[in-house]
Structure 1
Amino acid sequence: MPRANEEIEALLQEYADLIAITGGDAFRARSYEKAARAIGGYHADVTKLDAKGFQEIPNVGKSIADKITEYLTTGQISVVEERRRSVPAGVRELMTIPMLGPKKAMLLYDELDIASVDQLLDAIHHERLRDLKGFGEKTEENLLHGISLMQKAGNRILLNAAMDSAEQIVAELSRIKGCEGCTYAGSLRRMRETIGDVDILVAAEKSAPFMEALAGLPYTAETIAHGDKKTSIRTTRGLQVDLRVLPPDSWGAGLQYFTGSKAHNIRTREIAVRHKLKLSEYGLFDVETGKKITSGTEEEIYERLGLPWIPPTLREDRGEIAAGLRGELPDLVTEKDIRGDLHTHTDLTDGLAPLEDMIAAAAACGYAYYAITDHAPDLAMQRMTREKMLAQRERVRALDRKHRGMRLLHGTELNIGPEGDVDWPADFLAGFDICVASIHSHFNQSRRALTRRLIRACENPYVAVIGHPTTRRIGKRPGIDADFDAVFEACARTGTALEINAHLERLDLGDEDILRAKRYGVKFAVDSDSHSTTHLPYMRYGVATAQRGWLTKDDIINTWTLTKLRAFLRPKP
């Protein structure tokens, strides 16, 4: 279940938005935004801290510490409740639309009396927004796209939120007497980027103890359905969880069936039919005799169908069945193959933890090497200077090998400007071990301009990795409209890696883009883009995304030895 840190983060961010909506002090709103981010990314659970401990969190002073105490004591923050009452509910609904900020939401309400998504859609279709200051045809397109993103997301949640809930439930049910197996299945096991509901499977002779336990968990808000074979609940966070209890001798067939995808299962059933067999969640049966042939493990199911075991992350009917029949399934990269993280931040810019803490946390991950890549100066709010960066470099060099022998790389995340230029000149870039370059602004340029911008960055001899290439924020911001086939071709030509950014709101590149880029011969870097020590474990989700893109460790530069990696990172001729 979500940590209290995340719940408080969401409340304080909402408060910052409400301050902005009601014309409050912009500096005050920004202070709450900073505090929200700091609390959400703080390594310690706030429920374990006292008032003094709250104020040790960056950007948290006495006033915000008091609000944390109030939330932990009462379950709410009174000033947030008061501010909510001062803002029409319709405006708060509009604020949930990606691409629409709080001030524009309030303007729509004040000027056009728009208080719902449906009313906004009607106004866009009748071109009523175009007379408002700050609105135009392009704004309408962006809002329509934002509404589409929101509607597609529906009640879907990010991968890690679903995983946290699933793993906690699996742990609880696994302790019950009679449990012979328990795991999550469905789209979560396939590690899709968003999850609609969570499927939990249990292997046991008796189902009642597990059904009762699920319904009785403290974070179960309601029981949607309760039966002998399936129980569905909704958690206090609104997530639906479906529990199925299978006979132990049907475990493998049930796991294969409920993992999906539906399209993958259709393919496996078609193969079964050709072999005069029937495949269901209970087993693989001979059609003529009705005799169960096998069902104990997934491996047995696939083997009897003439296939190797297919990793869940590949089960999307994207050629995995044919590849399996040919014996050509990839040896997928695993988290153990990752030797280091090449994109991370400290509190020198917008990170939340000091350099030493980030390095220690990375060493605890078992990495052989680790890169610090704080922002360059074109992100003005970070106030980066040459002097600050050089001072950090000295500290990095001094800490090299000091944590479990881990080697340190001093890098930077450059900003790809509107014309494809980057922050610093060549003579300064030459001093970095690694340069990641990313787009952070001007997302609405033309397709041609965005494509040219990325290609020019690839052609910069000092740029080794293009960070979060599409710039998308899942459910919040669409990817940029660039000709990515041309970008992939440029990356392959120039020897520039594309990042698979493991942050849960990004997972960028996504799996389909990875599949396309791989065909061009592009290399990749799976990075956490950590801004806190608590973000480093996101690597797990980046690796899963790489698996969904059929990548092996040879495709990923941060699985390589440091010697091989350094050769790749050298400036391009």
Structure 2
Amino acid sequence: MARPNDEVEDLFQEYADLLSITGGDAFKVRSYEKAARAIGGHHEDVSTLDAKALRAIPGVGKSIADKVAEYFATGSVRAVEEARAKIPDGVRRLVAIPTLGPKKAAALYHDLGISSVDELVAAIHGERLRGLKGFGLRTEENILRGVELLRQSGGRVLLDAALAVADEIVAVLSAVPGCERCEHAGSLRRFRETIGDVDVLAAAHDSAPLMRAFRELPLVAEVIVAGEKKTSIRTAEGLQVDLRVVPPSAWGAALQYFTGSQAHNVRTRVLAVHAGLKLSEYGLFDAASGELIVSETEDEVYDRLGLPWIPPTLREDRGEIEAAQRGELPELVTETDLLGDLHTHTDLTDGVASLEDMVRAAAARGYAYYAITDHAPDMAMQRMSDEKILAQRERVRKLDGTVAGMRLLHGTELNIGPDGEVDWPESFLRGFDLCVASIHSHFTQDRATITRRLVRAAENPCVHVIGHPTTRLIGRRGPVDVDLAEVFRACARTGTALEINSAPDRLDLRDEDILLAKRFGVRFAINSDAHAVHHLGFVRYGAGTAQRGWLTKDDVINTWPLERLREFLGSAQAQQ
């Protein structure tokens, strides 16, 4: 289920969009956008807060606090419903297209009568947008890319949303009397970046209590099919969840089978056939006699096939079978291996929590060290200055080591400009413990230009990490057009680490890119890019993505002890 804070964030962002479409006051639009971000990033459950506590959230005044209370009391907000009634459904459908803002959607509807994605694509191909103010060739290209992204998503949800639902279901079903095992399976267990349907597997001698508890979950909006072995439901958000219940004796075979992927399962079934066996969700059987060989644990199934247990995140038929046969499966990095986070933000720029709150939350995770990397001045909307960043440095130095002994690194996230330059001169940058450099604009530059831009940033003697290297936002913005091999080659040469940005709508680098970069000998950093306290937990998704890229602890610089990390940061500068 979505966090109550996330529900309110989405509602107020929608309200801001609706106000923008109808020509509402720009200050009011910005106020609701700011409040949406602040509520979404607030560490407390806003559904439990009274009016005074709500107004204590930055950007939340009496009017907004009243709307939050109204939403949790009635399930809706009258002002939002009234704004929705003023906007035709067609315009609201167009707003869902990545890169197409609310004002352009309104212009398309009112000037050309376009009220669907298909109509918009046809209008672009028919050159009907050419005379419309604000719509040039580049705009048309961006819209078509946005439509492609929208269609590619195909109703799939981000990893974090699917995991939240799965975790809730597994927790409830595990407590049902008679349930011996319960776990999510499928692409979710493999940590794919987006999920179509959620697969949950349970083991019990009697499936009826589990199926009943599943159907009666508060998140269930519709029961699609109800059976003794399988029940499927749909949540209010439209996510399908399938529950399968198997006998405890078949648990291992079923978990292996329903984790997939299809290509991996084909390979394991072929191995079984060559050994005179038959593998199914019920077990590993002798092909001739039908006698059950093993089925209770995944380890037994893989062992009987002549393989060690293969981590779910590797089960994509990308060489894991061969590596297992050679005894060369990597010991994958895990979330618990992370000793610190090297890319986070505070309310000095676009974060919503104070430096002190972020430090305390990081220390509560058991980190040995933690970096604060607020934005640099080239992102003008963040209003950073030399004086502000130096004042923050003093606060960081005073806090260093005072919270659970955690050491603090003062850093910054630099903006990689159109020509590859970064915000501050080298003399100023050398005062930071750590510099992350990221692209935040000019995403549509050509391949050669983007590649030169990133290579130049990697060659900067003060840049330690390239942040979210392809800039993608899953389902909303595609990756920049870049020669990644050239960038990876440059990072390997200069000792610049590549970030695995753990924000669930980024997961950038993606797993395929990590696999390629690793071949060049690049080091990586698994970072949260947290803008709020609860974002620190995003590293769960980054660690899963790193596993899909076959990374070990040694590949990831923020699994290293602080002394080794400092040596890396220093040697990275020395190499340049």
TM-score by length of 2: 0.99
Other-structure match for 2:352:
352
Other-structure match for 1:235:
235
Other-structure match for 1:83:
83
Other-structure match for 1:407:
407
Other-structure match for 2:471:
471
Other-structure match for 1:182:
182
Other-structure match for 2:382:
382
Other-structure match for 2:436:
436
Q: Cα deviations across residues 487-546 of structure 1 (Å, max 9, x unaligned)?
A: 111111111000000001100000011011111111100000000111001111100000
For the pair 1:493 / 2:493, whether they are aligned, the reply is yes
SS at match of 1:130: coil
Other-structure match for 1:64:
64
Q: What is the alpha-carbon distance in structure 2 between the residues aligned to residue 506 and residue 526 of structure 1?
A: 12
SS at match of 1:435: strand
Q: What is the alpha-carbon distance in structure 2 between the residues aligned to residue 510 and residue 348 of structure 1?
A: 29
Greater mean alpha carbon deviation, residues 24-33 or residues 180-189: 24-33
Greater mean alpha carbon deviation, residues 11-20 or residues 26-35: 26-35
Q: Structure 2: which amino acid aligns with 1:363?
A: A
Q: Structure 2: which amino acid aligns with 1:356?
A: E
Q: What is the alpha-carbon distance in structure 2 between the residues aligned to residue 485 and residue 414 of structure 1?
A: 23
Q: What is the alpha-carbon distance in structure 1 between the residues aligned to residue 304 and residue 415 of structure 2?
A: 53
Q: Cα deviations across residues 78-116 of structure 1 (Å, max 9, x unaligned)?
A: 111101110110000000011111111111112211100
Q: Structure 1: which amino acid aligns with 2:73?
A: T
Shift, 1:133, TM fit: 2.2
Q: Cα deviations across residues 207-264 of structure 1 (Å, max 9, x unaligned)?
A: 1111111111122111000111100001122111100000110000000000000111
Shift, 1:358, TM fit: 0.4
Query: What pairs up with 1:97-246 in 2 under 5 angstroms?
Result: 97-246=97-246
SS at match of 1:323: helix
SS at match of 1:299: helix
Q: What is the alpha-carbon distance in structure 1 between the residues aligned to residue 93 and residue 62 of structure 2?
A: 31
Q: Structure 2: which amino acid aligns with 1:216?
A: E
Shift, 1:404, TM fit: 1.0
Unaligned 5+ segments in structure 1 are: none
Q: What is the alpha-carbon distance in structure 1 between the residues aligned to residue 421 and residue 27 of structure 2?
A: 31
Q: What is the alpha-carbon distance in structure 1 between the residues aligned to residue 80 and residue 271 of structure 2?
A: 57
Shift, 1:568, TM fit: 1.3
Shift, 1:481, TM fit: 0.5
Q: Cα deviations across residues 415-437 of structure 1 (Å, max 9, x unaligned)?
A: 00000000101111010000000
Other-structure match for 2:269:
269
Q: What is the alpha-carbon distance in structure 2 between the residues aligned to residue 569 and residue 406 of structure 1?
A: 18
SS at match of 2:278: strand
Other-structure match for 1:339:
339
Other-structure match for 1:426:
426
Q: Structure 2: which amino acid aligns with 1:476?
A: R
Q: What is the alpha-carbon distance in structure 2 between the residues aligned to residue 439 and residue 456 of structure 1?
A: 12
Q: What is the alpha-carbon distance in structure 1 between the residues aligned to residue 569 and residue 133 of structure 2?
A: 47
For the pair 1:294 / 2:290, whether they are aligned, the reply is no
For the pair 1:482 / 2:464, whether they are aligned, the reply is no
Greater mean alpha carbon deviation, residues 408-417 or residues 561-570: 561-570
Other-structure match for 1:504:
504
Shift, 1:303, TM fit: 0.4
Q: Structure 2: which amino acid aligns with 1:419?
A: D
Q: What is the alpha-carbon distance in structure 2 between the residues aligned to residue 30 and residue 477 of structure 1?
A: 22
Query: What pairs up with 1:389-400 in 2 under 5 angstroms?
Result: 389-400=389-400
For the pair 1:26 / 2:37, whether they are aligned, the reply is no
TM-score by length of 1: 0.99
Shift, 1:130, TM fit: 2.2
Q: Structure 1: which amino acid aligns with 2:150?
A: M
Q: What is the alpha-carbon distance in structure 2 between the residues aligned to residue 368 and residue 131 of structure 1?
A: 59
Greater mean alpha carbon deviation, residues 493-502 or residues 18-27: 18-27
Q: What is the alpha-carbon distance in structure 1 between the residues aligned to residue 302 and residue 174 of structure 2?
A: 26
Q: What is the alpha-carbon distance in structure 2 between the residues aligned to residue 382 and residue 218 of structure 1?
A: 41
Other-structure match for 1:92:
92
Q: What is the alpha-carbon distance in structure 2 between the residues aligned to residue 221 and residue 247 of structure 1?
A: 28
Other-structure match for 2:283:
283
Count residues with an aligned counterpart. 573
Q: Report the RMSD for the aligned CA atoms in angstroms.
A: 0.8
Q: Structure 2: which amino acid aligns with 1:169?
A: I
Other-structure match for 2:315:
315
Q: What is the alpha-carbon distance in structure 2 between the residues aligned to residue 218 and residue 546 of structure 1?
A: 34
Query: What pairs up with 1:555-566 in 2 under 5 angstroms?
Result: 555-566=555-566
Q: What is the alpha-carbon distance in structure 2 between the residues aligned to residue 149 and residue 510 of structure 1?
A: 16
SS at match of 1:131: coil
SS at match of 2:130: helix
Shift, 1:55, TM fit: 0.7
Shift, 1:287, TM fit: 0.4
Q: Structure 1: which amino acid aligns with 2:131?
A: D
Q: Structure 1: which amino acid aligns with 2:381?
A: M
Shift, 1:356, TM fit: 0.5
Shift, 1:127, TM fit: 2.0
Q: What is the alpha-carbon distance in structure 1 between the residues aligned to residue 212 and residue 564 of structure 2?
A: 55
Shift, 1:134, TM fit: 2.2
Shift, 1:137, TM fit: 2.4
Q: What is the alpha-carbon distance in structure 1 between the residues aligned to residue 29 and residue 315 of structure 2?
A: 45
Q: What is the alpha-carbon distance in structure 2 between the residues aligned to residue 141 and residue 441 of structure 1?
A: 17
Q: Cα deviations across residues 388-439 of structure 1 (Å, max 9, x unaligned)?
A: 1011000100011001111100000000000000010111101000000000
Other-structure match for 1:326:
326
Shift, 1:186, TM fit: 0.5
Shift, 1:140, TM fit: 2.1
Q: What is the alpha-carbon distance in structure 2 between the residues aligned to residue 139 and residue 274 of structure 1?
A: 56
Shift, 1:446, TM fit: 1.1
Q: Which runs of 4 or more aligned residues in structure 1 lie more than 4 Å from their structure 2 counterparts after TM superposition?
A: none
